[in-house]
Amino acid sequence: MPLPDPKTPWPPPEWTDVYDHLTTWDAWYSNDPARLAEAYGGDTGPTMRPSQLAGGVVGRLSRWFWGTPQRQAHTHKLHVPVASDIAATSADLLFAEPPTVRLPEDVDEASQTRLAELFGPDTTDVLIEAAEVAAALSGVYLRVGWDRNIADRPLVSVVHPDAAIPVFRWGRLVEVTFHREVERSEGTVWRHLEHHAPGVVQHALYVGDSNNLGRLVPLTEHPATVPLVDGLADDGQSIPTNIDSLTATYVPNARPNRRWRTHPHAYALGRSDFDGIEPLMDALDEAYTSWMRDVRLAKARLLVPSSYLETGGRGGGAWFDADREVFTELNMLGGKDTPAISAHQFAIRHAEHAATCAELFEQIVRGAGYSAQTFGLTGEIAMTATESNARERKTLRTRGKKVRHWRQALSYLAEVMLAIDNEQFGRSSTVAPAEVTFAPAVLETRRERAEAARMLLDAEAASVKTRVQLVNPDWDEERVNAEVEAITGARPDAPEDRV
């Protein structure tokens, strides 16, 4: 798939259905009620629409809570940010503790050190962002590039799936075109397209409208693409990477994708954590909105006869001040027929709403692949790591599936970064697939690790070094060796296996 021709419809028609679903998931992820109403067609006015009486997908969605029209100027619809909470939790489970990325043991130490530099804190921050986007939008792209004005090493950036047109072969990414709007004004849209293929990255700038790429113009025509010009080859579009690998990789959030499994182009995309639970999230918003409506209606209100109202004179209106302590004498007759002030206050159905919302929330997180314990639905109870693992079994299984996708992607990413580092920055590191190790999801306390080390000592099943590493998993090799020497030196007469 080369760069598209001018005047090509955009996004490509074969990707319209995919982008529509990505737009819906993005609306849930954004926590913006206006975008939710727009996604479900609920912002078109206060009257009943014909679509609400129709059948099919359009009719069904327009009858959702976020698809119903607003019947007053000020909306009281409440949105619960459960979708963004799920996405953020998924990212925390994967990268709250940075993974360890190392080359095979037989690789020279200089290459190991350089890889550790490439996967420093800034790269870890990018991975946290990428993991959250992947959970929300079914997957994410990691792109490797370089800019000598910013850093003397390769840089990793995140590209969202609604800004990419990929090409898969045998379920693997072989080409991808990233696109972004660099300017939109008065119906004119400037788009920058970036096509990644093995050995080359092509760039092009188009000027069109919302649905069409329009004409092709030089990259020098817009400030956003001018910095790319210096690195272009003679054709004015290509930047050679001088490596055989693709400088981008795709990380699916989960597979298989039930929604697009038969799609000729999107079959290899991942599955969003929101896929299939949109009706439940819609119902949760409706339940919370009903709860808050009860709160509003339960405000105490006084109904007073018209004769009790004070007037502001001709054309000045009338009112009754319920907070006033002294009233002027009312000009009215007494007796049993005298109008009375009546108080009205509705009950708040707190228990019913709380139970409904809790049940919906639990069904939502379960449908997304997580345990209720992960989101604190079982209360704050002190537990050991073993007990926590038992309660979060579903979450740990989901995390394990995601880890396999990320481990493969990060191994490839490390290989590409080392290759680009060698070609563009004159390094001589060994290029090889990296070994990626993720930290456990539920960390044991130091006391629990010490008890495990004691059990290994009693069973004579581990050396001093192994036990030191078990109790102190964050120590490097040098510090572990120093601790072993200190322990064995303290008791030189003791057998090594009993130290």
pLDDT in tens, 48-104: 445 444 445 445 555 556 666 655 444 678 899 999 999 999 999 999 889 999 999
- Side-chain-side CA neighbours of 499 within 13 Å: the count stands at 21
Q: Are residues 218 and 284 in the same domain?
A: no
Q: Report phi then psi at 423, rounded to 5.
A: -75, -40
Determine contact, residues 473/453, Cβ cutoff 8 Å: no
Q: Are residues 226 and 351 in the same domain?
A: no
Q: In this structure, is residue 320 part of a structural domain?
A: no
Q: Are residues 85 and 234 in the same domain?
A: yes
Residue type at position 211: N
Tokens of 457: 């000592």
Q: Are residues 200 and 283 in the same domain?
A: no
Bridge-based pairing state of the strands 172-185 and 164-169: antiparallel
Residue 466 neighbours by CB under 8 Å, 6+ apart: 456
What is the tally of helices (H) and strands (E) in the chain?
13, 15
Determine contact, residues 210/186, Cβ cutoff 8 Å: no
Q: In this structure, is residue 94 part of a structural domain?
A: yes
Q: Are residues 491 and 350 in the same domain?
A: no
Q: Whose CA is closest to 115, among 145, 154, 144?
A: 154
- 83: burial class by Cβ within 10 Å (0-12, 13-18, 19+)? buried
Determine contact, residues 178/187, Cβ cutoff 8 Å: no
Q: In this structure, is residue 398 part of a structural domain?
A: no
Q: Are residues 356 and 482 in the same domain?
A: no
Is-cis flag, bond preceding 11, omega within 30? Answer: yes
Q: Domains in the chain: how many in total?
A: 3
| Separation between Cα atoms, residue 259 and residue 21, nearest integer Å | 10
- 290: burial class by Cβ within 10 Å (0-12, 13-18, 19+)? middle
| Separation between Cα atoms, residue 119 and residue 126, nearest integer Å | 10
Determine contact, residues 142/409, Cβ cutoff 8 Å: yes
Enclosing domain of residue 178:
13-31+79-252
Q: Collect contacts of 453-461 with beta carbons under 8 A, ≥24 apart.
A: 457/498, 460/497, 460/498
b/e 165-176 (16+ beta carbons within 10 angstroms → b): bbebeeeebebb
pLDDT of 70: 58
pLDDT of 427: 92
pLDDT of 241: 93
Q: In this structure, is residue 115 part of a structural domain?
A: yes
| Separation between Cα atoms, residue 332 and residue 335, nearest integer Å | 10
Q: Report phi then psi at 228, rounded to 5.
A: -80, -20
Q: Are residues 282 and 246 in the same domain?
A: no
Q: In this structure, is residue 61 part of a structural domain?
A: no
Residue whose structure tokens are 């997580």: 370
Q: Are residues 228 and 188 in the same domain?
A: yes
From first to last of its 499 residues, the chain has per-residue pLDDT tens of 589 999 999 999 999 999 999 999 999 999 998 899 888 875 544 444 454 444 454 455 555 566 666 554 446 788 999 999 999 999 999 998 899 999 998 899 999 999 999 999 999 999 999 999 999 999 999 999 999 889 999 999 999 999 999 999 999 999 999 999 999 998 899 999 999 999 999 999 999 999 999 999 999 999 999 999 988 888 889 999 999 999 999 999 999 988 899 999 999 999 999 999 999 999 999 998 888 888 877 776 666 666 666 666 676 666 656 555 544 545 555 555 555 666 666 677 888 888 999 999 999 999 999 988 888 765 444 444 444 445 678 888 999 999 999 999 999 999 999 999 999 999 999 999 899 999 876 645 566 667 777 887 777 778 888 888 877 776 778 888 888 888 887 443 345 444 4
Q: Are residues 363 and 461 in the same domain?
A: no
pLDDT of 318: 66
Q: Are residues 182 and 290 in the same domain?
A: no
Residue type at position 384: T
Tokens of 416: 């590409």
CB atoms near residue 138 (< 10 Å): 28
Q: Are residues 25 and 86 in the same domain?
A: yes
pLDDT of 383: 46
pLDDT of 387: 45
pLDDT of 331: 52
pLDDT in tens, 120-165: 999 999 999 999 999 999 999 999 999 988 999 999 999 999 999 9
For the entire predicted model, the pTM comes to 0.78
Q: Are residues 96 and 168 in the same domain?
A: yes
